[in-house]
Amino acid sequence: EVDILRDKKIAIVFGAETPVGEHCVQLLLNHPAYNQVFVFAAKPLSLKSTKLKQFSLKSFLSGEISRLEGNDLFYCTNDFLQNISAEDQLNSAELARILPVAKLAAKGGVNQFLVLSSAGANPESLIPLLKMKGQIAEILSKMSFWGVHLFKPVPIRKEQIKSFWGHGLAFLLQKGAAQLDEDLAHEVTPLRSIVIAKAMVNAAQQLEKGYHIYNNESIERLGKA
């Protein structure tokens, strides 16, 4: 029987350098349910707290860490619609890192895996990046975590909106084949990073077993709870 805790928890955060990740770390440090927050980052964060323990991302990539032990793992990196090509995104270290992270977390007995994905992510997508993100989500859904929480907001930064609409035709071409996320067809308002971060932290406190997907509407609702 998995021991699920409501307090005195250990959080693990990847992607703390991103807007969502930075907010997540701050929220976790201030949250009474967490005694410790382990952060893996490319460079040290300027935050100071007795709860905070920082690890070099280099130590993880070099294989020095054989397992990730904690209760809730927040994977906050989202490469969707940056100003680089889809091919470069598919080859990025960040996207390639999530599955090794998940495997070490499962090995270490992490209960809940919360990951920031993208609206439109689908293993059948015609867009390579969204297809890969969908395939990753499918793999996570079959792993041994007590709970997997997948967050699929539309692009979250103002400078991404133009790029988003540049990809709009490709999204619409998939609509007839039921490959377009229905929420994406109706929701085009980007959510603020703090709202997404609050939704991720709040979702972890609900302690809901199984595989859960959050669209813009449910993310916004959770982020305001």
pLDDT at position 3: 66
pLDDT at position 2: 53
Q: CA 65 to CA 206: how far, in whole Å?
A: 29
Query: pLDDT tens digits for 83-94?
Result: 334 444 444 555
Q: CA 179 to CA 12: how far, in whole Å?
A: 33
pLDDT band with cut points at 50, 70 and 90 for residue 159: very low
Cβ burial 24-57 (10 Å sphere, 16+ → b, else e): bbbbbbebebbebbbbbbeeebeeeeebbebbeb
Q: Is the pTM of this model over 0.85?
A: no
For 52-56, 96-100, 123-127, 181-185, which range has the lowest pLDDT when averaged over its residues? 181-185
What mean pLDDT comes out for the span 72-95?
A: 58
What mean pLDDT comes out for the span 148-169?
A: 60
pLDDT band with cut points at 50, 70 and 90 for residue 1: very low
Q: CA 55 to CA 60: how far, in whole Å?
A: 8
pLDDT(170) > 50: no
What are phi and psi for residue 5, nearest 5 degrees?
-100, 150
Largest CA distance in the chain: 53
Query: pLDDT tens digits for 11-27?
Result: 999 989 888 999 999 99
What mean pLDDT comes out for the span 73-90?
A: 58
| 3-state DSSP percent of the chain in helix, strand and coil, to 5 | 40, 15, 40
What mean pLDDT comes out for the span 160-164?
A: 44
What are phi and psi for residue 14, nearest 5 degrees?
-110, 145
Q: What percent of the chain has pLDDT over 90?
A: 43
Q: Contact, 140 vs 115, CB < 8 A? A: yes
pLDDT band with cut points at 50, 70 and 90 for residue 130: confident
pLDDT at position 56: 86
pLDDT at position 111: 95
pLDDT band with cut points at 50, 70 and 90 for residue 190: confident
Q: Which has the higher per-residue pLDDT, 47 or 212?
A: 212
Three-point CA angle 138, 223, 53, nearest 5°: 75
